[in-house]
Structure 1
């Protein structure tokens, strides 16, 4: 697939990911569900726990993410809070090396910022009581600033070990955001980003996204704070390892993070080499938007899906 065709298909898939009316129809298609199962650990908490047990046996850590970006009422947000409280309790019971990731839209950010802060505070308080950690996921650029503001407030209330942020190297602002977060000792996950953005806020060229990733990675690793470098790109991994070696950083000064169902060979190689690796483990019934973003990242997956849809 040409570069232009790849960009076009990615843009189309990211657009479709934001069309909730397509979700029910798509999720009824057997080939669609079959391919999605490669990237989604299940629709229930117990299915996700079983998946994490398997990862743990391979020496991998995990971060659970309950998928539900479509909450529309205060009661739905409170159910998300209860879901995360149950999840944190279950992690304690199972005894796996895992934490949780959560989007502020699940907490009501799109219709009530105060409610979103209140709900996020409840979840982080639960994590702190259990000596665990909540990663506040980053979403599209329309909520970047308010998300970082809420993370800073929660960090001030609960301390470094219990809440952290996410930055996307696709956004033009990210390197400066990284410097600010490091100054406040906020643990940060760096990823490339998987949202459809306008060129005035995000780099349209992959080479610029990669260059931003490397610059931001260096800012994070130089800070002395424990961060997560989230990538499946072996060039980015080698750049990270090279910079860590130049700085004399020991293994365990940071962790690599990867997505469930992608590059298991690379995950295991890094573990064998002694690097901490954490897998982002999504689960839940509302997996359509997440899955569409994964398709957009990997054109080969789209080709596989289309072949299977034709076959039925």
Structure 2
């Protein structure tokens, strides 16, 4: 019953978030009502300040300039410019952070050529600064083209580019096997998945997603490739700790990742235990889609916002 309820809740939130009245209200008042808990500011300066504070507590970071689904090349270049600014700011400030991005924000839906042009601009700079760029996996409709582009960029830029893999998709294990066998170094961020997908391509039952998630974590750890375990689930964290200890996998071959504003005490505890803990730090004006997915993940996040709405 609880699984059905959570599934219904998630679908409801994602559906409601598309309503023009709701989106207009949240976009106008959301940051004041509590979205700032999950988004590290609107400007890059604000984000770098938060990264510095996280670094002081021993946490490393991946910065993400929020944005997706641009509709013309000018918008795509603006998003590209923002990514270049992130890499410059990280270099100049000396903070410990890499960067993640969504290729739809760089013109993927306009054409592969536009997106590749922008990706190469970003990765040229990442290579110059010896930094790293993570390509986010988006909805199912974009997976094949994302994989195609990643393969091309991986051959060109090697260790400077990585990918996100989603556990709730049926195809995931096969995709991972191919990547692990193709590349000498394949840094993957493993997540459960946050998009609303058809049961024809994704597990509908949370228990099945959880089972596959543990499977791909073990699979990638044993492959010898670097593994980023992105989770807030204590069961997954404890399972990973026990698994790496059992198989003598050193701590420098994997890391835990969590979202900015979610379980900060646990993040700091993992650092104290000697693990690399990376915080995903989003910022920017186009925060609404990201924020909607965070609310859809947990009723507790929705209650946090509602509480702020009625606070005097």
Shift of 1:39: 0.2
Select between 301-310 and 111-120 the one with higher mean Cα deviation: 301-310
Give the structure 1 partner of residue 171 of structure 2: 173
Q: Is the 8 A contact 1:127 1:133 kept in 2?
A: yes
Q: Is the 8 A contact 1:16 1:292 kept in 2?
A: no
Give the structure 1 partner of residue 70 of structure 2: 71
1:93-108 alignment, distance < 5 Å: 93-108=92-107
Shift of 1:119: 1.0
> Is the aligned partner of 1:163 residue 2:158?
no
Shift of 1:106: 0.7
User: For 1:195-250, what per-residue CA distance to the aligned partner results, in whole angstroms no more than 9, with x for missing partners?
Assistant: 11111111111110110101100111011111211001010111111211121011
SS in 1 for 2:223: coil
Give the structure 2 partner of residue 86 of structure 1: 85
Give the structure 2 partner of residue 123 of structure 1: 122
SS in 1 for 2:68: coil
Select between 61-70 and 37-46 the one with higher mean Cα deviation: 61-70
CA distance in 2, matches of 1:138, 1:19: 25
TM-score, normalised with respect to structure 1? 0.94
Give the structure 2 partner of residue 5 of structure 1: 5
User: For 1:136-189, what per-residue CA distance to the aligned partner results, in whole angstroms no more than 9, with x for missing partners?
Assistant: 001111111111111111010011x20000001111111121112222232110
Q: Is the 8 A contact 1:43 1:283 kept in 2?
A: yes
Uncovered stretches (5+) of structure 2, i.e. residues with no partner: none
Aligned length: 310
1:141-290 alignment, distance < 5 Å: 141-159=140-158, 161-183=159-181, 184=183, 185-290=185-290
Uncovered stretches (5+) of structure 1, i.e. residues with no partner: none
Select between 214-223 and 174-183 the one with higher mean Cα deviation: 174-183
Q: CA RMSD in A?
A: 1.8
CA distance in 2, matches of 1:209, 1:4: 14
Q: Structure 1 pair 166/210, CA: closer, same or farther in 2 (3 Å)?
A: same
Moved >6 Å (runs of 4+): none
SS in 2 for 1:166: strand
CA distance in 1, matches of 2:198, 2:303: 26
CA distance in 1, matches of 2:4, 2:32: 28
1:9-20 alignment, distance < 5 Å: 9-17=9-17
Q: Structure 1 pair 20/190, CA: closer, same or farther in 2 (3 Å)?
A: farther
User: For 1:63-85, what per-residue CA distance to the aligned partner results, in whole angstroms no more than 9, with x for missing partners?
Assistant: 00000114211011111111111
CA distance in 1, matches of 2:118, 2:224: 30
Select between 50-59 and 214-223 the one with higher mean Cα deviation: 214-223
CA distance in 2, matches of 1:28, 1:71: 21
CA distance in 1, matches of 2:132, 2:286: 23
Q: Is the 8 A contact 1:18 1:289 kept in 2?
A: no
CA distance in 2, matches of 1:20, 1:131: 42
Q: Is the 8 A contact 1:27 1:33 kept in 2?
A: no
CA distance in 2, matches of 1:176, 1:21: 42
